[in-house]
Structure 1
């Protein structure tokens, strides 16, 4: 089933538009394990040599002009290739106005043809998952807000998609790593376009974790390094973020756990972000096995989705008598044993844990 591709130690971290297969070794060295690319033998073999898997089109996109003969031919040749990760059904059917029925027909054709690999589709709007989220084995959401939408819009749409999709099905967040200035025609009239900063990249990455994504892709390698205008600083920032995720893979793969959540903002005027959700988004996680960096236990991950400073407090799932570590910061949070309070800089990420055991 599609879910099998989402387990540790292969937490999905992918990137779009990598260009020539000569770039694959460098991409793998950063920590990526997935790329988009063509379904051809040379490319798949090159990906396998680099330890990468490929999200590839089956030769035709779902919709009115779906070419069943071409798709069957592509599946016959490449479905069994070990580097083939998933078949890319369609990109943004909600934007292209391709009906869920047409997408379902394409998915069914691939399954009837004997494919052993999962199917994937990408949505632009998270709430469209109510119509498309049950079709493919893997649903992805691409939301690129910088700078024309509030950054919180990304987190909001990942959350919408997660609520609409069966919790056992993988959800992949596609994160902006490009400058809209290179795609000005898509946003006519928008001014002062720019790429995301490192802090925005990191905030979106951890927001994907907090809002329930099971993996991440970034768009795109070509926009940073293969076009006339290059963005080496953005590529450098993305490499740092990806390496951090890979080092903290136990956290990103952790189980989301319900808790009797209560939180509070010192400044009530800024407690909501521009999406009218809590400015700081937090989640309770359980790490089963852990590793050298992330010990087994329970953690709270909190992400500032705004460009503002916040004093944020949350109630612990249980009362504690010991100190609460702020992971990776060699300090302890301020706590009275029931509540934790901490300062959040713009787009900051805080990880608290492993939490001390209950005092009872």
Structure 2
């Protein structure tokens, strides 16, 4: 049994009851954006197609205002619990539309031990009974040290333009293997995708030269689909705020790219959330990652070209019965591209 202390007294909930509360709080697959700090921007985020948001604000009054805006717009929140725990807002905060409590940002990078994160987890759960907790690591292989420290593991990895685009999915794959090894294969795993230009952030380069660019829409989608096929069940984008300005203010073009990617994901996330995974038909080359899902009477085949060169579309997918829903209009798969094909289930 898990004992929970509330203002009205001491209560006990079974582990199953706590799990049920977590499931009810989770709702649809998260499609979120980081660093939303003003109530005035919540409607903009909702209109763009997101169903939740993260904020770095921690002052109880500021969080209260954000929570009211989030509730009014049907969004959930990923928030730090630290300053709420001993505040007068705690009772109200337990009623907020909280997706999860954000324990720490990249403890592996900050060299904070998993035991310290676990202590934060205990404090958060005592103050917010039944709520999920989350911790984000900056590298999938570091999940070994933190996979037991929170209810949800998150991985952020921002490769554009420094690294191969497929490295995002590799980080997710590494984290998933660690979860499986620790008998946590079903633990929620959320991926944080790059939606910023590295030139806007401090870089530790000896020549002090900043390099970077904002990802293209198709690059953000490639990372999202790569992560989804590798096992994430929550998609996050970093970031809505750049140097004190919202992304729409900072660059309408960048915001346009991100909205286009989110619009596409809103069409396909239900397939990943509720679709049955089936073996992909036929064989593909080592450079092509394929996954088939059965959803509402249709087969959806997701094909990702993981290489930096053009790959031929496998013959199995060149039949007239397939309808290209995304990208592929030819017999070739572009480098680092996503193709989605649909066919009637037999």
Answer with 228-237 or 202-211: which moved more: 228-237
Task: Tell me the alpha carbon deviations over residues 81-124 of structure 1, each in whole angstroms, 9 at most, x when there is no partner.
Answer: 23222110101011111111111121122223452210011011
Map 1:236-275 → 2, pairs under 5 A: 236-255=256-275, 257=277, 259=279, 263-265=283-285
Aligned twin of 1:305: 306
Aligned twin of 1:268: none
**Aligned equivalents of 2:327, 2:128: Cα separation in 1:** 53
**Aligned equivalents of 1:145, 1:213: Cα separation in 2:** 18
1:280 aligns with 2:288: yes
**Aligned equivalents of 1:163, 1:351: Cα separation in 2:** 26
Aligned twin of 2:341: 352
Map 1:120-139 → 2, pairs under 5 A: 120-139=134-153
**TM-score for the superposition, normalised by structure 1:** 0.77
> Shift of the alpha carbon at 1:191?
5.1
> Shift of the alpha carbon at 1:186?
4.2
> Shift of the alpha carbon at 1:19?
2.9
Secondary structure at the aligned position of 1:71 is classed as coil
Distance 1:134 1:286, change over 3 A: farther
Aligned match for 1:49, one of 66, 72, 94: 72
Aligned twin of 1:169: 187
Aligned twin of 2:164: 150
Aligned twin of 2:237: 218
Task: Tell me the alpha carbon deviations over residues 97-152 of structure 1, each in whole angstroms, 9 at most, x when there is no partner.
Answer: 11111111211222234522100110111111122123211111110000111111
| RMSD of aligned alpha carbons | 3.0
Aligned twin of 1:179: 197
**Aligned equivalents of 2:188, 2:86: Cα separation in 1:** 25
**Aligned equivalents of 2:120, 2:301: Cα separation in 1:** 40
Checking the alignment, whether the CA contact within 8 Å between 1:306 and 1:346 is kept in structure 2 is: yes
Residue ranges of structure 2 left out of the alignment (5+ in a row): 1-18
Answer with 70-79 or 194-203: which moved more: 70-79
Aligned twin of 1:233: 253
**Aligned equivalents of 1:221, 1:143: Cα separation in 2:** 17
Checking the alignment, whether the CA contact within 8 Å between 1:59 and 1:74 is kept in structure 2 is: no
Checking the alignment, whether the CA contact within 8 Å between 2:195 and 2:239 is kept in structure 1 is: yes
**TM-score for the superposition, normalised by structure 2:** 0.80
Aligned twin of 1:82: 96
Aligned match for 2:48, one of 15, 27, 30: 30
Aligned twin of 1:207: 226
**Aligned equivalents of 2:173, 2:258: Cα separation in 1:** 23
Secondary structure at the aligned position of 1:108 is classed as helix
